Amino acid sequence: MKETTVDKILGHPLNAWYVAAWDHEVNRKPLARTVAKRPLALYRTEDGDAVALADACWHRLAPLSMGKLEGRDGIRCPYHGILYNSAGRCVSMPAQETINPSATVASFPVVERYRFVWVWLGDAALADPELVPDMHQMDDPEWAGDGLTISVQCNYQLVLDNLMDLTHEEFVHSSSIGQEALSESEFTVHHDERTVTVERWMLGIDAPPFWLKNMRDKFPGFEGKVDRWQIIHFESPTTINIDVGVARAGTGAPQGDRSQGVNGYVMNTISPVTDRSSLYFWAFMRNYRLESQVITTQLRDGVSGVFREDEDMLVAQQAAIDANPDYEFYSLNIDAGGMWVRRLIERQLAAEGRLPAPLAAG
């Protein structure tokens, strides 16, 4: 069956954990965020617990995120003053003592983990905290780093495609992390019911500028060839952690000894906003020179510049897709990891009965 660009831009599963915000963004001032097309009002109770309510008052759909917090866990509608608790139930109405029993707004399960506030927008009975994707490097004391959020105007699946195939670095990021060895090297792809892993090693090569600087941060004056690795690990539906680094060539990195190198993790989790916009939460974590805030800031800013190049390409790609809705997608060998990602997402959507008609019939 021919798969056009429209067919290949998938919807988003709802029975899944998505990041709504960094933990430091959620406080005692309501925050408006849209995740998976659902507007949310985020805030903390006086006890410090994060809350995610539907951002629309039961009465006239006024945004609760424009309201004020009141009491231990309440939020008051800014339009007519209806007060809700953290479970989304009305506890006070203006000008009447009797509270309409239907006066509720949806309250969504929340988990705080790995410096993020995660929300579950599907069946609350299925919201198992153990299903939060593993991003333990984000708060592990053996790793240091920081990240940012990109509001990117494209479908979330395009971001996943970009991260699952890093050969584009040779062309999009030629001045920082790109080199010919990326497209010349072989790779392997492994998958199971929830994950996809793409592994690539480049042995005995010159370090690109980004990695040469990092080697010299750890080993001042470093010169010579390196062994470079990229191990991309996807966890359904939208989290991709990439184990990256270089080590002195021939010192055993492929066999597990990375002591003569520098190792980082590019942490990525993408939350769909609409069919054509996404929130892209990322961080770069490292396991060397943990004490240096200078290196943390330099790495964050350097990776941010690399990702701006990605963002430009993704936005342009989304515009081209919108302009050519009947165009047929083609796949290369390098797309193997991304194709498995799509299959896993399609399976999740099928389990929820939410596949687009052409894919459901295929």
- 311-344 pLDDT, tens per residue? 888 999 999 999 988 888 777 777 888 899 999 9
pLDDT score at 215: 94
Among 157, 184, 182, which Cα is nearest to 172's? 182
Minimum mean pLDDT range among 115-124, 256-265, 305-314: 305-314
Q: Residue 210 has what pLDDT?
A: 85
Q: Which two tokens stand for residue 151?
A: 């509001």
What lies within 8 Å, CB to CB, of 183 at 6+ separation is 167, 170, 334
The reply to whether 197 and 87 lie within a common domain is: no
- What residue numbers bound the domain in which 69 lies? 39-130
Return the closest-CA partner of residue 217 out of 306, 292, 285, 137. Answer: 292
- Domain total in the chain: 2
Q: How far is Cα 260 from Cα 326, in angstroms, rounded to an integer?
A: 50
**Are 295 and 319 within one domain?**
yes
Q: Which of 80-89, 210-219, 353-362 has the lowest mean pLDDT?
A: 353-362
Residue 141 has pLDDT above 90, yes or no: yes
Say if residue 62 is in the same domain as residue 198: no
Residue after which a domain boundary falls, among 85, 108, 130: 130
Query: Rounded to the nearest 5 degrees, what angle is found at the Cα of 262, between the Cα atoms of 137 and 280?
Result: 45
Reported as a single tens digit per residue, the pLDDT across 9-52 is 668 999 999 999 999 999 999 999 999 999 999 999 999 999 99
For the packed helices 293-323 and 156-164, what is the interaxial angle rounded to 10 degrees? 120
Q: Note the Cα 69 to chain centre separation in Å.
A: 29
Confidence of residue 6 (pLDDT cuts 50, 70, 90): very low
Statement: residue 76 has pLDDT above 60: yes
Average pLDDT over residues 231-248: 96
Tokens encoding 361 = 């019939």
Domain boundary (72, 106, 130) is at 130
**Residue 116: per-residue pLDDT:** 98
49 & 77 share domain: yes
51 & 150 share domain: no
Does residue 55 sit in helix, strand or coil? coil
- Is residue 71 domain-shared with residue 205, that is, in the same domain? no
- Over residues 277-298, the pLDDT tens digits come to 999 999 999 998 999 999 999 9
pLDDT of residue 166: 63
Nearest to 243 by CA among 222, 259, 262, 229: 229
